[in-house]
Amino acid sequence: MVGYAEILQELHSQAGKRAGLADTIELHCELLEAQAHAQVPAGRLALSSEEAAERLQQGYPLLAPEHLVADDQALAELFDQIGHIVAERRPELAEALAGVRGWLDERRDRIGAVAAEYLREGRVREGEEAGLDAYLLTFVFINALRPFLRVQAQALTPWVDESVWYRGHCPICGGEPDVAALEQESGRRRLLCSRCDSEWAFRRVGCPFCGNDDPQQLAYYASEDQVYRLNVCEQCRRYLKTIDLRQVAGKRLLAAERVLTVAMDVAAVEAGYGVR
CATH number at residue 170: 3.90.1670.10
Surface-to-core class of residue 50, CB atoms within 10 Å of its CB (0-12 exposed, 13-18 middle, 19+ buried)? exposed
CA distance 101 to 3: 28
- Is residue 15 domain-resident? no
Find all residues with CB under 8 Å of 254, minimum gap 6, and list them.
179, 181, 192, 199, 243
Average model confidence (pLDDT) for the chain?
94
Same domain, yes or no: 179 and 208: yes
- Is residue 50 domain-resident? yes
- Is residue 20 domain-resident? no
Same domain, yes or no: 136 and 172: no
In this prediction, residue 47 has a pLDDT band, given cuts at 50, 70 and 90, of confident
Single out the residue in 134, 159, 184 at which a domain terminates: 159
What local confidence, expressed as pLDDT, does residue 119 receive?
95
Same domain, yes or no: 179 and 153: no
- Is residue 212 domain-resident? yes
Single out the residue in 159, 185, 205 at which a domain terminates: 159
Surface-to-core class of residue 251, CB atoms within 10 Å of its CB (0-12 exposed, 13-18 middle, 19+ buried)? exposed
3-state helix, strand, coil in the chain (%, to 5): 55, 10, 35
- Is residue 22 domain-resident? no
- Is residue 9 domain-resident? no
What local confidence, expressed as pLDDT, does residue 111 receive?
93
Give the pLDDT confidence of 106-131 residue by residue, as tens digits: 999 999 999 999 999 999 999 999 99
In this prediction, residue 69 has a pLDDT band, given cuts at 50, 70 and 90, of confident
Give the pLDDT confidence of 120-178 residue by residue, as tens digits: 999 999 999 999 999 999 999 999 999 999 999 999 999 998 888 989 999 999 999 99
What local confidence, expressed as pLDDT, does residue 275 receive?
62
Single out the residue in 102, 125, 159 at which a domain terminates: 159
What local confidence, expressed as pLDDT, does residue 146 receive?
97
Calculate ∠ Cα 33-38-40, nearest 5°: 135
From 241, 228, 226, select the one nearest 192 (Cα to Cα). 241
Same domain, yes or no: 135 and 54: yes
Same domain, yes or no: 43 and 146: yes
Sheet of strand 199-202: strand arrangement: 199-202, 189-193, 177-182, 239-244, 228-233, 218-222
Same domain, yes or no: 133 and 229: no
- Is residue 5 domain-resident? no
Sequence-ordered alpha helix ranges (H) in the chain: 4-15, 22-36, 49-57, 72-89, 94-105, 111-121, 125-129, 134-156, 254-260, 262-270
Number of domains in the chain: 2
Same domain, yes or no: 208 and 149: no
CA distance 98 to 176: 27
- Is residue 200 domain-resident? yes
Same domain, yes or no: 111 and 205: no
Same domain, yes or no: 132 and 230: no
What value does the CA radius of gyration of the chain take, rounded to a whole number of Å?
Answer: 18
What local confidence, expressed as pLDDT, does residue 48 receive?
85
What does the pLDDT average to over 245-262? Answer: 95
What percent of the chain shows pLDDT beyond 90?
86
CA distance 102 to 206: 40
Surface-to-core class of residue 104, CB atoms within 10 Å of its CB (0-12 exposed, 13-18 middle, 19+ buried)? buried
What local confidence, expressed as pLDDT, does residue 8 receive?
97
Q: Flag whether pLDDT at 34 surpasses 70.
A: yes
Q: What domain range is 234 assigned to?
A: 166-270
Model pTM? 0.95
User: Are β-strands 177-182 and 189-193 bridged in parallel, bridged antiparallel, or unpaired?
Assistant: antiparallel
Beta-ladder partners of 239: 232
